[in-house]
Amino acid sequence: SQKIEQNSEALNIQEGKTATLTCNYTNYSPAYLQWYRQDPGRGPVFLLLIRENEKEKRKERLKVTFDTTLKQSLFHITASQPADSATYLCALYNFNKFYFGSGTKLNVKP
Amino acid sequence: DTEVTQTPKHLVMGMTNKKSLKCEQHMGHRAMYWYKQKAKKPPELMFVYSYEKLSINESVPSRFSPECPNSSLLNLHLHALQPEDSALYLCASSQDKLATDTQYFGPGTRLTVL
């Protein structure tokens, strides 16, 4: 089965800085990888999808990279704002379904 | 309208009770999902319906019984649950069940089993 690792420790950064979150996986390289945002007591909200043959994907202040050699995806939020504070989950697609990571909590301080 | 609604928001039930969770979407999506999420853990897939037929059952105990009455509705019937079943139950839908289809999640039902 797929194992996904996201840093369980919260990431604390200052407003305006770039936040970088990591998603590492073992075993099978997924054809697709997604990033979601989840606020407390709420369902995840889709942010970005990246394919295995794409190195980088951008959307406004968000950037995702996908390195199948390192078995890693990085998620960047530039010019971070307190409203970006949330838990960010990565999800990998293998065997006809998505496997989610536990997420990393991001705290952006004003 | 990109909303998935779930009712109830909170549910407290005893181990002998029978209850149901309800999920609804009006986006014309043909795939619907149930996930279970415990605190600080990832959402775990339970069931997938595709075109109103059960497509995936992740070896979920029979005390959880899904039902898809039509393309907009998804129910999860609960019976004889255990305290360890207490969790946030999330419903999601997507256009189809392709890897490139975005899953839209509902707000979840917070279930407590006493």
**By the CB < 8 Å criterion, does A88 face chain B?**
no
The order of strands in the sheet holding A62-67 is A3-6, A19-26, A72-77, A62-67, A56-59
Average pLDDT, integer, range B60-81: 96
Q: Taking CB atoms and an 8 Å cutoff, what residues of chain A touch B56?
A: 96-97
- Give the model's pLDDT for residue A104: 96
Name the closest residue on chain B to residue A43, using Cα atoms: B107
pLDDT above 70 (res A94): yes
B40: amino acid identity, one letter: K
- Residue count of chain B: 114
pLDDT above 80 (res B2): no
> What average pLDDT does chain B have?
94
- For the stretch A17-66, pLDDT in tens is 999 999 999 877 788 899 999 999 899 999 999 998 898 999 999 999 99
- For the stretch B79-97, pLDDT in tens is 999 999 999 999 999 998 8
- For the stretch B33-67, pLDDT in tens is 999 999 989 999 999 999 999 999 999 999 999 99
- Give the model's pLDDT for residue B54: 95
Q: How many CB pairs under 8 A join A and B?
A: 50
Percent of chain B beyond pLDDT 70? 98
pLDDT above 80 (res A2): no
pLDDT above 90 (res A7): no
- Give the model's pLDDT for residue B94: 93
Residue A22 CA to residue A67 CA, distance in Å, equals 11
Residue B63 CA to residue A56 CA, distance in Å, equals 43
Average pLDDT, integer, range B64-74: 96
Cα A86 from chain centroid (whole Å):
11
**By the CB < 8 Å criterion, does B27 face chain A?**
no
Percent of chain A beyond pLDDT 70? 99
**By the CB < 8 Å criterion, does A86 face chain B?**
no
Choose the closest CB to A42 out of B99, B104, B108.
Answer: B108
Answer for the pair A50, A66: CB distance below 8 angstroms, yes or no. Answer: yes
Q: Taking CB atoms and an 8 Å cutoff, what residues of chain A touch B41?
A: 102
Q: Which of B2, B21, B5 is nearest to B13 (CA)?
A: B21
Q: Taking CB atoms and an 8 Å cutoff, what residues of chain B touch A97?
A: 45, 48, 56
Confidence class for position A1, pLDDT limits 50, 70, 90: low
